[in-house]
Protein backbone atom coordinates (compact mmCIF):
# COMPACT_ATOMS: atom_id res chain seq x y z
CA UNK A 1 0.00 0.00 0.00
CA UNK A 2 1.25 3.47 -0.89
CA UNK A 3 1.24 5.71 2.17
CA UNK A 4 0.75 9.43 1.61
CA UNK A 5 2.08 11.72 4.33
CA UNK A 6 0.81 15.29 4.39
CA UNK A 7 2.53 18.14 6.17
CA UNK A 8 2.01 20.20 8.11
CA UNK A 9 -1.06 18.83 9.85
CA UNK A 10 -2.25 22.38 10.49
CA UNK A 11 -1.30 25.60 8.76
CA UNK A 12 -2.27 28.88 10.43
CA UNK A 13 -2.28 31.77 7.99
CA UNK A 14 -4.02 35.06 7.32
CA UNK A 15 -6.12 35.94 4.27
CA UNK A 16 -3.87 37.13 1.48
CA UNK A 17 -0.95 34.95 2.52
CA UNK A 18 0.52 32.13 0.47
CA UNK A 19 -0.18 28.55 1.54
CA UNK A 20 2.19 25.73 0.70
CA UNK A 21 1.02 22.17 1.47
CA UNK A 22 3.14 19.07 1.07
CA UNK A 23 2.27 15.46 0.22
CA UNK A 24 4.95 12.77 0.22
CA UNK A 25 4.38 9.25 -1.12
CA UNK A 26 6.08 6.13 0.26
CA UNK A 27 6.90 5.10 -3.32
CA UNK A 28 6.64 6.73 -6.71
CA UNK A 29 3.16 7.51 -7.96
CA UNK A 30 4.47 9.23 -11.10
CA UNK A 31 2.07 12.14 -11.67
CA UNK A 32 -1.00 10.21 -10.53
CA UNK A 33 -1.82 12.50 -7.64
CA UNK A 34 -4.88 14.60 -6.93
CA UNK A 35 -5.76 17.26 -4.37
CA UNK A 36 -9.18 17.82 -2.78
CA UNK A 37 -10.61 20.54 -0.58
CA UNK A 38 -13.20 19.77 2.08
CA UNK A 39 -15.08 22.30 4.17
CA UNK A 40 -17.00 21.35 7.33
CA UNK A 41 -20.24 19.55 6.50
CA UNK A 42 -19.48 19.47 2.79
CA UNK A 43 -18.30 16.83 0.35
CA UNK A 44 -14.75 16.93 -0.96
CA UNK A 45 -14.08 19.00 -4.09
CA UNK A 46 -11.50 18.05 -6.68
CA UNK A 47 -8.95 20.86 -7.07
CA UNK A 48 -5.98 19.37 -8.92
CA UNK A 49 -5.54 16.13 -10.88
CA UNK A 50 -2.45 14.51 -12.35
CA UNK A 51 -0.31 16.58 -10.00
CA UNK A 52 -0.64 19.92 -11.77
CA UNK A 53 -3.91 20.19 -13.71
CA UNK A 54 -6.66 22.36 -12.27
CA UNK A 55 -10.09 20.77 -12.28
CA UNK A 56 -13.03 22.51 -13.93
CA UNK A 57 -13.94 25.79 -12.28
CA UNK A 58 -10.98 25.89 -9.89
CA UNK A 59 -9.47 29.38 -9.52
CA UNK A 60 -5.97 30.04 -10.82
CA UNK A 61 -4.68 30.80 -7.31
CA UNK A 62 -4.59 27.03 -6.77
CA UNK A 63 -1.62 25.25 -8.31
CA UNK A 64 -0.03 21.85 -7.97
CA UNK A 65 3.46 20.61 -8.68
CA UNK A 66 5.68 17.59 -8.23
CA UNK A 67 6.11 14.07 -9.50
CA UNK A 68 7.36 10.76 -8.18
CA UNK A 69 7.16 11.00 -4.39
CA UNK A 70 7.04 14.73 -3.55
CA UNK A 71 4.11 16.98 -4.33
CA UNK A 72 3.02 20.48 -3.41
CA UNK A 73 -0.28 22.31 -3.44
CA UNK A 74 0.09 26.08 -3.42
CA UNK A 75 -2.59 28.68 -2.84
CA UNK A 76 -1.00 31.91 -3.99
CA UNK A 77 -3.15 34.28 -1.94
CA UNK A 78 -5.66 32.87 0.53
CA UNK A 79 -9.27 33.94 0.20
CA UNK A 80 -11.65 33.59 3.19
CA UNK A 81 -13.35 30.63 1.47
CA UNK A 82 -10.05 28.72 1.17
CA UNK A 83 -9.82 27.90 4.87
CA UNK A 84 -10.57 24.19 4.86
CA UNK A 85 -8.98 20.75 5.00
CA UNK A 86 -6.96 19.58 2.00
CA UNK A 87 -6.30 15.95 1.08
CA UNK A 88 -3.99 14.40 -1.47
CA UNK A 89 -4.86 11.06 -3.13
CA UNK A 90 -2.94 8.68 -5.35
CA UNK A 91 -4.40 6.60 -8.17
CA UNK A 92 -1.21 4.87 -9.24
CA UNK A 93 -1.77 1.58 -7.41
CA UNK A 94 -4.57 -0.31 -5.70
CA UNK A 95 -5.57 0.32 -2.99
CA UNK A 96 -6.25 3.94 -3.71
CA UNK A 97 -5.04 5.96 -0.75
CA UNK A 98 -5.50 9.42 0.72
CA UNK A 99 -3.19 11.47 2.85
CA UNK A 100 -4.23 12.34 6.38
CA UNK A 101 -5.07 15.93 5.46
CA UNK A 102 -3.79 19.43 6.15
CA UNK A 103 -6.09 21.89 7.87
CA UNK A 104 -5.61 25.48 6.75
CA UNK A 105 -6.96 27.68 9.50
CA UNK A 106 -7.27 31.41 10.00
CA UNK A 107 -4.47 32.85 12.08
CA UNK B 1 -25.56 18.30 -14.37
CA UNK B 2 -24.13 15.32 -12.55
CA UNK B 3 -26.11 14.27 -9.49
CA UNK B 4 -25.35 11.45 -7.07
CA UNK B 5 -27.88 10.77 -4.32
CA UNK B 6 -26.79 8.46 -1.51
CA UNK B 7 -29.30 6.61 0.63
CA UNK B 8 -29.68 3.62 2.93
CA UNK B 9 -27.65 4.67 5.95
CA UNK B 10 -28.75 4.14 9.51
CA UNK B 11 -27.96 2.57 12.87
CA UNK B 12 -27.09 -1.13 12.92
CA UNK B 13 -25.79 -3.47 15.60
CA UNK B 14 -22.32 -5.01 15.37
CA UNK B 15 -22.48 -8.05 13.12
CA UNK B 16 -25.46 -6.66 11.25
CA UNK B 17 -25.95 -5.78 7.60
CA UNK B 18 -26.94 -2.72 5.61
CA UNK B 19 -27.20 -1.88 1.91
CA UNK B 20 -26.36 1.56 0.62
CA UNK B 21 -27.59 2.92 -2.71
CA UNK B 22 -26.42 5.75 -4.92
CA UNK B 23 -28.78 7.02 -7.63
CA UNK B 24 -26.90 8.65 -10.48
CA UNK B 25 -28.10 11.10 -13.12
CA UNK B 26 -26.75 13.68 -15.52
CA UNK B 27 -24.07 11.50 -17.10
CA UNK B 28 -23.70 8.19 -18.90
CA UNK B 29 -23.60 6.00 -15.78
CA UNK B 30 -22.92 2.76 -17.66
CA UNK B 31 -19.72 4.23 -19.14
CA UNK B 32 -17.98 4.86 -15.81
CA UNK B 33 -16.47 2.72 -13.11
CA UNK B 34 -17.78 3.90 -9.74
CA UNK B 35 -16.41 4.14 -6.24
CA UNK B 36 -17.36 4.20 -2.57
CA UNK B 37 -15.32 6.34 -0.17
CA UNK B 38 -15.93 6.69 3.57
CA UNK B 39 -15.08 9.16 6.29
CA UNK B 40 -15.24 8.26 9.97
CA UNK B 41 -16.43 11.05 12.28
CA UNK B 42 -13.73 13.73 12.53
CA UNK B 43 -11.31 11.67 10.44
CA UNK B 44 -9.91 11.64 6.92
CA UNK B 45 -11.05 10.00 3.71
CA UNK B 46 -10.71 6.27 3.03
CA UNK B 47 -11.37 4.58 -0.32
CA UNK B 48 -13.61 1.52 0.17
CA UNK B 49 -14.49 -0.15 -3.12
CA UNK B 50 -14.55 0.12 -6.93
CA UNK B 51 -16.68 -1.51 -9.59
CA UNK B 52 -15.98 -1.38 -13.30
CA UNK B 53 -18.54 -0.12 -15.79
CA UNK B 54 -19.86 -3.63 -16.46
CA UNK B 55 -19.46 -5.04 -12.92
CA UNK B 56 -16.92 -7.59 -14.15
CA UNK B 57 -14.09 -5.99 -12.22
CA UNK B 58 -14.09 -4.99 -8.57
CA UNK B 59 -11.52 -3.87 -6.02
CA UNK B 60 -11.81 -3.54 -2.26
CA UNK B 61 -9.85 -2.03 0.59
CA UNK B 62 -8.36 -4.71 2.83
CA UNK B 63 -10.41 -3.35 5.73
CA UNK B 64 -13.69 -4.40 4.05
CA UNK B 65 -12.66 -7.30 1.80
CA UNK B 66 -14.86 -10.34 2.34
CA UNK B 67 -17.52 -8.33 4.19
CA UNK B 68 -18.62 -5.66 1.68
CA UNK B 69 -19.83 -6.17 -1.88
CA UNK B 70 -20.05 -3.41 -4.46
CA UNK B 71 -22.48 -3.81 -7.34
CA UNK B 72 -24.41 -1.77 -9.86
CA UNK B 73 -27.57 -1.84 -11.95
CA UNK B 74 -26.92 0.08 -15.14
CA UNK B 75 -30.61 -0.20 -16.13
CA UNK B 76 -31.47 1.79 -12.99
CA UNK B 77 -28.37 4.04 -12.95
CA UNK B 78 -27.75 2.91 -9.40
CA UNK B 79 -24.67 1.88 -7.43
CA UNK B 80 -24.87 -0.33 -4.34
CA UNK B 81 -22.75 -1.28 -1.37
CA UNK B 82 -23.84 -4.36 0.57
CA UNK B 83 -22.21 -4.27 3.99
CA UNK B 84 -22.20 -7.42 6.12
CA UNK B 85 -20.58 -8.35 9.44
CA UNK B 86 -20.42 -4.68 10.35
CA UNK B 87 -18.00 -3.53 13.02
CA UNK B 88 -17.81 -0.35 15.08
CA UNK B 89 -14.82 0.71 12.93
CA UNK B 90 -17.18 0.85 9.94
CA UNK B 91 -19.02 3.80 11.47
CA UNK B 92 -18.63 6.57 8.91
CA UNK B 93 -20.27 8.69 6.27
CA UNK B 94 -20.20 6.73 3.02
CA UNK B 95 -19.94 8.66 -0.25
CA UNK B 96 -20.39 7.34 -3.74
CA UNK B 97 -18.01 9.02 -6.14
CA UNK B 98 -17.75 9.39 -9.89
CA UNK B 99 -14.35 9.53 -11.58
CA UNK B 100 -13.47 12.25 -14.05
CA UNK B 101 -12.85 9.68 -16.75
CA UNK B 102 -12.92 6.01 -17.64
CA UNK B 103 -10.19 3.42 -17.84
CA UNK B 104 -7.52 3.36 -15.13
CA UNK B 105 -8.52 4.74 -11.70
CA UNK B 106 -9.27 8.43 -12.00
CA UNK B 107 -9.71 11.22 -9.44
CA UNK B 108 -13.24 11.83 -8.21
CA UNK B 109 -14.93 14.84 -9.74
CA UNK B 110 -18.41 14.31 -8.30
CA UNK B 111 -19.55 13.03 -4.92
CA UNK B 112 -22.84 12.00 -3.38
CA UNK B 113 -23.96 13.87 -0.29
CA UNK B 114 -23.10 10.86 1.87
CA UNK B 115 -24.98 8.31 3.97
CA UNK B 116 -24.19 8.01 7.67
CA UNK B 117 -23.72 4.46 8.90
CA UNK B 118 -23.50 4.00 12.67
CA UNK B 119 -22.56 0.61 14.03
CA UNK B 120 -23.49 0.47 17.69
CA UNK B 121 -25.22 -1.78 20.17
The per-residue pLDDT for range A22-31, each reduced to its tens digit, is: 999 999 999 9
Residues of B in contact with A56 (CB under 8 A): 109
Nearest 5 degrees, angle CA B15-CA B20-CA B22? Answer: 165
Are B47 and A87 a contacting pair at CB < 8 A? Answer: no
pLDDT of A79 reads 97
SS3 B49: strand
Q: What Cα–Cα distance (Å) separates residue A75 from each residue in A53, A80, A85, B18?
A: 14, 12, 13, 41
Q: What Cα–Cα distance (Å) separates residue B22 from each residue in A22, A61, B14, B40, B41?
A: 33, 33, 23, 19, 21
Mean pLDDT over residues B71-98, rounded? 97
* CA atoms A52, A58, A60, A63: torsion sign: negative
| Banded model confidence at residue B20, pLDDT cuts 50, 70, 90 | very high
**What percent of chain B lies above the pLDDT cut of 70?**
100
pLDDT of A17 strictly over 90: yes
pLDDT of B55 reads 79
Residue positions counted in chain B: 121
Chain A nearest CA to B94, separation (Å): 11
- Using CB atoms, which residue from B45, B61, B112 is nearest to A95? B61
**Which residues, numbered 33 to 92 in chain B, qualify as contacts with chain A under a Cβ-Cβ cut-off of 8 Å?**
35, 44-47, 50, 59, 61-62
What phi, psi does A48 have (nearest 5°)?
-135, 135
pLDDT of A81 reads 96
Are B59 and A36 a contacting pair at CB < 8 A? Answer: no
| Banded model confidence at residue B54, pLDDT cuts 50, 70, 90 | confident
Residues of B in contact with A44 (CB under 8 A): 45, 95, 108, 111
pLDDT of B102 strictly over 90: no
**What percent of chain B lies above the pLDDT cut of 90?**
93
Chain A nearest CA to B87, separation (Å): 21
Residues of B in contact with A43 (CB under 8 A): 95, 111-114
pLDDT of B56 reads 85
pLDDT of B103 strictly over 80: no
Are B114 and A56 a contacting pair at CB < 8 A? Answer: no
Amino acid sequence: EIVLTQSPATLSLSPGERATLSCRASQSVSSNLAWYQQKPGQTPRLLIYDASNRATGIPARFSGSGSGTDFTLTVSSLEPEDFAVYYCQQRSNWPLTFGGGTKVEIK
Amino acid sequence: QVQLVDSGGGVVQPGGSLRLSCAASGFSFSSYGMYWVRQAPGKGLEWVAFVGSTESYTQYADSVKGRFTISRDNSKNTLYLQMNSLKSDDTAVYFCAKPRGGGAPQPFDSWGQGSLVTVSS
